[in-house]
């Protein structure tokens, strides 16, 4: 094969992930989110009126909103074409990052309290439950806010053959560089159903001719991008 394109079976993206390289993000912004949560909890501790609980709700919602904006600035969720038309919470749920039900409940309560003159703040018990949710939301998303994975690997076994691919992700441009050793049975030189295209930059046959080492960029594809991004966020958990 010369330097052109090959089509790889999606099975090469189906294995276990391993984080290879990550960039540490200064956590000043993350600390701010916890400080806002602490202020909300203080308001609940000294609570003397409905107004105190309402202010606590606003602060809880603000902590979540600021964390959302911070994550969006890093990961550019809305640039993922396969999730076009979805809100950020739905995208993050699809990527197995969060469960958004209580997040939506908090946002709904905040909107009612803010925009309806006859709406009282929820009870102290509900406010404290929402505070626990916000704490959990911040803790769960800390791993994405404090580190940014740049490279990760996927190890798959297909028909008894082990494959390994490494993927470098450019979050801003949405370019995905893929390289690795892949069994020839998973590689096609023509467009094939159940496969995604890689534009090659170089290739080397490994001894025996059973495996091909290849390197190139994943061609634009909503299906491939969706799978790669799910595996990308999975690599944070290794």
What are the tens digits of pLDDT across the range 195-224?
999 999 876 667 567 888 999 999 999 999
What is this structure's pTM? Answer: 0.89
Closest Cα to residue 216, out of 184, 173, 172, 168? 168
Report residue 43's pLDDT band, with 50, 70 and 90 as the boundaries.
very high
- What are the CA-CA distances from residue 24 to residues 33, 140, 149, 150 (Å)? 18, 17, 9, 10
**Residues 123-172 pLDDT 10s:** 999 999 999 999 999 999 999 999 999 999 999 998 888 999 999 999 99
- What are the CA-CA distances from residue 84 to residues 80, 91, 181, 224 (Å)? 7, 9, 32, 15
Residues 169-177: contacts with CB under 8 Å, at least 24 apart: 169/228, 169/232, 171/74, 171/75, 171/76, 172/76, 174/76, 174/79, 174/80, 174/225, 175/217, 176/217, 176/218, 176/224, 176/225, 176/228, 177/215, 177/216, 177/217, 177/218
Asked whether 138 and 34 are in contact (CB, 8 A), the reply is yes
**Residues 73-132 pLDDT 10s:** 999 999 999 999 999 999 999 999 999 988 989 988 988 888 776 678 899 999 999 999
Integer-rounded Cα radius of gyration of the chain: 23
Distance CA 22, CA 108 (A): 36
Asked whether 65 and 134 are in contact (CB, 8 A), the reply is no
Every domain of the chain with CATH number 1.20.120 lies at 25-147
CATH number of the structural domain 25-147: 1.20.120
């Amino acid at each position: 094969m010369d330097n052109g394109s090959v089509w790889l079976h999606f099975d090469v993206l189906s294995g276990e992930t391993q984080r290879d390289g990550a960039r540490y993000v200064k956590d000043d912004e993350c600390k701010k989110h916890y400080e806002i949560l602490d202020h909300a909890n203080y308001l609940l501790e000294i609570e003397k009126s409905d107004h105190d609980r309402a202010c606590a709700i606003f602060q809880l919602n603000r902590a979540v909103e600021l964390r959302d904006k911070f994550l969006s600035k890093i990961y550019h969720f809305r640039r993922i074409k396969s999730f076009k038309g979805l809100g950020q919470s739905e995208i993050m749920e699809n990527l197995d990052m969060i469960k958004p039900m209580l997040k939506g409940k908090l946002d709904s309560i905040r909107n009612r309290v803010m925009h309806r003159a006859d709406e009282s703040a929820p009870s102290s018990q509900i406010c404290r439950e929402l505070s626990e949710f916000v704490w959990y939301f911040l803790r769960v998303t800390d791993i994405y806010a404090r580190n940014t994975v740049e490279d990760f690997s996927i190890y798959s076994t297909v028909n008894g053959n082990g494959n390994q691919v490494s993927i470098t992700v450019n979050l801003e441009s949405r370019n995905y560089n893929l390289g690795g050793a892949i069994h020839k049975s998973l590689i096609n030189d023509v467009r094939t159903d159940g496969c995604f295209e890689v534009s090659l930059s170089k290739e080397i046959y490994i001894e025996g001719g059973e495996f091909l080492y290849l390197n190139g960029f994943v061609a634009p594809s909503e299906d491939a991008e969706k799978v790669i991004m799910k595996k990308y966020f999975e690599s944070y958990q290794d």
